[in-house]
Copies of this chain bind each other. A is one copy, B any other.
Amino acid sequence: MILDKVNNTLDLKKLTKEELKGLSSEIKDILIKKVSKTGGHFAPNLGVVELTIAMHYVFNSPVDKIVYDVSHQCYTHKILTGRKHGFLDENKYSEISGYTTQHESEHDFFIVGHTSTSISLACGLCEARDIKKEKSNIIAFIGDGSLSGGLAYEGLNNASEYGKNLIIVVNDNDMSIGETSGGLYKNLKKLRETKGNCEDNFFKALGLDYVYVDDGHDIENLIEVFSKVKDIDHPIVVHVKTIKGNGYKYAEDHKEDFHYVMPFDLETKKSLCPQSKENYISITNDYLIQKSKENENIVGITAGTPALFDTFRKVRKEKFIDVGIAEEHAITLSSAMASQGIKPVVALGSSFIQRSYDQLSHDLALNNNPAVILIFRSGISSIDATHIGVFDIPMISNIPNIVYLCPTTKNEYLKMLDFAINQNERPIVIRVPSDVVEDSIDKEYDFTLNTFEKIEKGKDVAILGLGSFFGLAKEVCEKLKEDNINSTLINPRFVSGIDESMLEDVSKNHKVVVTLEDGVIDGGFGEKISRFYSDKNIKVLNYGAKKEFTDRVSIDELYNRYRLKSDLIIDDIKRNL
């Protein structure tokens, strides 16, 4: 294997052009094998193998610095910068992160997992280089999909004012996670069609120098282009056309499905970890399809993750908007729609809703418009630090006017959706659980503002299990019975406000109140309960995540660390009784 000779980027520079081509084939095969087994970003990585090789052939990393946007396309970069074992050795697959991180290599400069940041980060590296009077090339490597995010534009706009070396490589594969959306993409299309020569070039309009590369898989040509722009004395955009999924025809033909994959069989193309038939995405879509038959005003909105409205967008195409990676626009748009009696339902991941705090606060909450927002992928998990979903409760629930709901079961979720869509008083956010829990009993729901639901009435100990941690609360409650402690079990439902009357009532014959929330405790739900009881003779124990960024730590380890296990909680309760 040619890769045997390449342990670092210096080795790469010794290869012949033919060997470089061979190397790119080898790397594609390695990526296909590895990612099909472990899951990960498939098509984005296959599309940039030649580009990455050419960059590392021409530039001198880490003196020259490449900043990968989102960094979900950094696998080849990792293979070439001393981390190939993580892609070759099955036993070491898990050692290497799927994103760049400075803790892994001197060739990585930032932990990155959100889009649209690379140009601003590169601008910062440029400023630092100049102040330190150093000499190097700074390269921002950004996909066309990431260019729809406002920060990428703010970066481009500011980069243009900057008078020294900065190279912005636009990896244009004509795709975001899903299809791209927006005027910029019409421009990129024209630029591709005219080989960079169309009128009204977006990048030139922003005052940036520009060069177009029509074949992002032609290593020799890429090397030539990068050699020309190397050491350039001003900012330039190198616009490169690539094919997402290149090297694996099936991925080229199914770009959205192969953006990120779970482990799959290379022969049959079938997933090796099939999703349970029913999950909260399917439940939500089924509900919205049905509901939108009765209510013409429902519009589904996503921001670059249309898969969250998977079937809804197919069945109700005219009532679906994907704004591209533009979470800010999604929220502000929905606020305005809601102000006119329309019922937008926005679906966002927990780690991405944080890209629209000002829009939630200033555009939506202050204007008190009744949009509905669904937060997916929240809670303590073993995911990468860039994608953990434990911060949405403090972020959202402390904004006035917004009602933040945490359902515990499928039926309660559906009833909350109904409640949110049928009301016109205020913005409502629903924290969609991860695991589908069926209701044991059929019952009525009343969502009077800030009323908790008492599920079991006991004394001495009251347990408030918020959303997905209601199950844990129930488990604690059941186990306490074995010790002859009949505790009170409460489903708070509302995380943005508290049921003062019920809490007051609880204080009469309870000694210990336990709160459980599937997110960071700081600034969250439990602290509000602690505050409520802070001048009363009742002890409160708050459980949830510690205020920390966790990176691929197993759930079991985290639950132990945070004492989120029924036996540990019961120990604490007994100590405090």
Which A residues lie at the B interface, using CB under 8 A? Answer: 67, 102, 109-114, 117, 120-125, 127-129, 131-132, 148-161, 181-184, 186-187, 199-202, 204-208, 296-297, 299, 321, 323-324, 326, 328-329, 332-342, 344, 354-355, 357-359, 361-363, 365-367, 385-386, 391, 394-395, 397-401, 520-524, 526-528, 530-531, 533-537, 539-542, 547-549, 576
**How many chain copies?**
2
Report yes or no: A398 in contact with B340, Cβ–Cβ below 8 A: no
Give min CB distance, A410 to chain B, whole Å. Answer: 29
A-B contact pairs, 12 of them (CB 8 A): A109-B336, A124-B335, A154-B323, A158-B329, A160-B184, A183-B207, A187-B205, A187-B207, A200-B205, A395-B395, A398-B522, A531-B540
Report yes or no: B129 in contact with A340, Cβ–Cβ below 8 A: yes
Report yes or no: B333 in contact with A127, Cβ–Cβ below 8 A: yes
Report yes or no: B151 in contact with A157, Cβ–Cβ below 8 A: no
Given contacts A340-B132, A526-B531, contact A120 B158 (CB under 8 A): no
On chain B, the residues within 8 Å of A123 by CB distance are: 329, 333, 336
* 19 extra interface residue pairs, beta carbon distance < 8 Å, beyond A127-B342, A158-B181, A187-B206: A120-B332, A123-B329, A124-B335, A124-B339, A128-B340, A128-B342, A149-B154, A151-B359, A153-B153, A155-B332, A158-B326, A158-B333, A183-B208, A184-B206, A202-B205, A354-B358, A361-B391, A401-B549, A535-B540
Residue of B nearest to A201 (CB): B200
Give min CB distance, A164 to chain B, whole Å. Answer: 13
Tell me, in angstroms, the Cα distance from A149 to B155 when the chains sit together: 10
Residue of B nearest to A538 (CB): B534
On chain B, the residues within 8 Å of A539 by CB distance are: 534-536
Report yes or no: B120 in contact with A151, Cβ–Cβ below 8 A: no
Report yes or no: B336 in contact with A128, Cβ–Cβ below 8 A: yes
Given contacts A121-B336, A124-B335, contact A186 B160 (CB under 8 A): yes
Give min CB distance, A121 to chain B, whole Å. Answer: 4
Report yes or no: A363 in contact with B117, Cβ–Cβ below 8 A: yes
Residue of B nearest to A512 (CB): B535
Give min CB distance, A183 to chain B, whole Å. Answer: 3
On chain B, the residues within 8 Å of A113 by CB distance are: 362
Give min CB distance, A187 to chain B, whole Å. Answer: 5
Tell me, in angstroms, the Cα distance from A196 to B114 when the chains sit together: 37
Report yes or no: A541 in contact with B549, Cβ–Cβ below 8 A: no
Report yes or no: A362 in contact with B386, Cβ–Cβ below 8 A: yes
Given contacts A121-B336, A337-B124, A366-B386, contact A183 B206 (CB under 8 A): yes
Tell me, in angstroms, the Cα distance from A149 to B152 when the chains sit together: 11
Tell me, in angstroms, the Cα distance from A536 to B524 when the chains sit together: 20
Residue of B nearest to A151 (CB): B328
Residue of B nearest to A540 (CB): B534
Tell me, in angstroms, the Cα distance from A75 to B205 when the chains sit together: 33
Given contacts A202-B206, A395-B395, contact A357 B359 (CB under 8 A): no
On chain B, the residues within 8 Å of A323 by CB distance are: 154, 158
Tell me, in angstroms, the Cα distance from A394 to B150 when the chains sit together: 24
Q: Which of A117, A148, A158 has the most CB of B within 10 A?
A: A158
Give min CB distance, A329 to chain B, whole Å. Answer: 4
Report yes or no: A362 in contact with B328, Cβ–Cβ below 8 A: no
Give min CB distance, A265 to chain B, whole Å. Answer: 34
Give min CB distance, A191 to chain B, whole Å. Answer: 10
Tell me, in angstroms, the Cα distance from A123 to B397 when the chains sit together: 27
Residue of B nearest to A120 (CB): B332
Residue of B nearest to A396 (CB): B523
Tell me, in angstroms, the Cα distance from A497 to B92 when the chains sit together: 37
On chain B, the residues within 8 Å of A149 by CB distance are: 150, 154
Give min CB distance, A541 to chain B, whole Å. Answer: 6
On chain B, the residues within 8 Å of A201 by CB distance are: 200, 205
